[in-house]
Amino acid sequence: MSVPMRVLVFASQKGGSGKTTLSGHLAVEAERAGDGPVALIDTDPQGSLSKWWNVREAETPTFMQCTFPNLLHDIERARSEGYRLIVIDTPPAVTRAISEVVAMADLVVLPTRPSPHDLRAVGATVDIVESRHKPMVFVVNSAVPKARITHEAAVALSQHGTVSPVVVHHRTDFAASMIDGRTVMEVKENCKSAREVAALWEYIKERLARVCDEGSDYDPNLGVALPRVNALGKAAPAFGRRVTV
């Protein structure tokens, strides 16, 4: 029996929340855990995720080269090609385009740093997700170990939605690993950061399985979620390296 494809969207209007780093790390961890094949999509004009992938030596995860007007079509093409997970990174903004991307998600991840400014900024993103009636989960990211504000941030976020029990802590190895297209798991497999990513993926995977029992796809013409339709059939793969300048 074929495994249905899931679409995981990372969204936050706050720059520096860690969307790109978590997108890349969870995509790689899903592959490592045997939950691939995985394809990445970068909808941020800055192209940080695509630039990371372009210097990556490993063949997986795949990068999906697509444009926003064709995004839904390309997601369905990936489904027909047998991909099991699509990970979409979004720009730090609140726009109609981001709302359209969120509408295609099976689950939306909102990375949030434990600071008052970041907590105040989550409201607009939550509004978008709720307007599209999509399940979401907060991930406390770049936390200082044993800091009181980390617990306080989790409590505050829990008033607005589900908070991941896995906290991702601030360590230099996260940013350092992204420089050459790798992840912390590939640099030092058993480090604390690698274990946190593995635990976070297990949690996200469980959440995806739970919320996707009644899967749906987004109809851009109607602007609502509808029952899943069949894949679009055979088509040339939409995957490849994006040229960056």
Q: What domains, with CATH codes, occur in the chain?
A: 6-211 (3.40.50.300)
CA atoms within 13 A on the CB side of 47: 15
Q: Are 65 and 73 in contact (CB under 8 A)?
A: no
Looking up tokens 């980390």, which residue turns up?
A: 150
Omega before residue 227 within 30° of 0, cis = no
Quick one: pLDDT at residue 225?
Answer: 38
Q: Are 112 and 141 in contact (CB under 8 A)?
A: yes
Residues 6+ apart with CB under 8 A from 146: none
Quick one: pLDDT at residue 176?
Answer: 84
- Predicted structure pTM score: 0.85
Q: Are 49 and 64 in contact (CB under 8 A)?
A: no
Quick one: pLDDT at residue 50?
Answer: 94
Q: Are 25 and 176 in contact (CB under 8 A)?
A: no
Q: What are the mean pLDDT values of the chain's consecutive 10-residue runs (245 residues total)?
A: 85 88 96 96 92 94 87 92 96 85 96 91 92 96 91 93 95 86 92 96 95 52 35 36 37
